[in-house]
Amino acid sequence: MLKHRVVVTGMGAVTALGYELDAFWNNLIQGKSGVSLVEAFDVSEYPTRIAASVKDFNPEDYVDRKEARKMDRFVQFAVAAATNALKDSGLQIGEDADPDRVGVMIGSGIGGLGTWEDQHDVLVQKGPKRVSPFFIPMMIANMASGHVSILFGAKGPNSTAVTACATGTHSIGDSYKLIQRGDADVMICGGAEATIRPMGMAGFCSMRAMSTRNDEPEKASRPFDSERDGFVMGEGSGIMILESLEHAQKRGAKIYGEVIGYGLSADAHHMTEPDPNGPERCMKMAIRDAGIDPAEVDYINAHGTSTPVGDRSETIAIKNAFGDHAYKLAVSSTKSMTGHLLGAAGGVEAVICALTLNNGKIPPTINLEHPDPECDLDYVPNVAREADVKVAMSNSFGFGGHNATLILKKFEA
């Protein structure tokens, strides 16, 4: 069967480090942190009072007020990132692309948590007749894909992955496969999340999964550092426009890079605790799918959440997957700056990998001041590094034992 080559032609990211691609990238390379005290609600009684919040975001910059009010915040983020990605790609659906051949796959790990909270308050305080008729269509996780397809007239394959923190990577990987096998010419894909809410914060605090370094927010997310004490929640969206190479070249599109490999696996181990064997199998599957030698991988954007168990587990998995080459790789966790965007993390980090291929710079792992002896790889500590990265890997691992890995390559005609 003919396998179409799949390339990246547009990207958009909405994060605590900015909404515009250039500003976002510059902040990453400068090693800036997007973490600060939570201001959206009272966190005085929470053990964790910090997050990487998206500030000064106005959904009406992307859709009119009436439509924006029908969207949960995670959908608003997805619409904004998709709008920017399509603009970046120069693609006009209906002119440059057959709407029936343009699909959407934007996932969310949790979906409309804010809408759920707000409408539950209405139910308790005012009764069932006052619950909004938009409650269900605002809350369900597939609505990012739904709204984006409606707004832009994309009538091709449309679906939603919900695999916790692996969601964004699964969405891009599954979209890559749809184009590769000829079921679509273009896919708008990635992840979106908006869980910096009272229930979201309370739930993760109860798990003791988040950092409590409230007095130094910008230093709280510190992957692979021996003094790390948990992850920092982020929010936003990361979206890619994928196209078959033939389709992109026919319309003269600029190309950021090529998606060449995708792996997915399960730990089959524990609800929340990672097992290094799962990510190892996932990375090896992506390498096989790409048809490359492990030694060809130059850079890994790690899942690297800043949890004690997770960072050690990923380090072991990388060593097992790459052998001696693990010590020659550059590995960094950009969650040290963006926070952990949960279901949107993989989308944002795939965008970062493509930008790394194009700009010849590897973003750092900031706050790596006291290296964990058990995490002994090259994590590009604190300062960005110039490097000719030809092949980049992005890892995402989620609760339930879900693992996903993407491999991107610098484009060669």
* Strand pairing class (236-244; 186-193): antiparallel
Residue matched to tokens 């995490």? 375
Active site residue 189: no
Among residues 165, 189, 353, 375, which one is catalytic? Answer: 165
Q: What is the DSSP string of 333-385?
A: -THHHH-B-GGGHHHHHHHHHHHHHHHTEEPPBTT--SB-TT--S---BSS-E
- Cα 301 to Cα 38, 336, 354: the distances in Å are 27, 12, 11
Residue of 303, 353, 375, 402 marked catalytic: 303
Round to whole Å and give the CA distance between 319 and 324. Answer: 7
Element of type H or E holding 115: helix 113-126
Q: Distance between CA atoms of 389 and 300, rounded to whole angstroms? A: 10
Catalytic residue status for 120: no
β-pair type (257-266, 36-37): unpaired
- 303 assigned to active site: yes
Q: What is the DSSP letter of 15?
A: B
User: Pick the catalytic residue: 4, 247, 340, 402?
Assistant: 340
Side chain identity, residue 378: D
- Just list the catalytic residues: 165, 303, 340
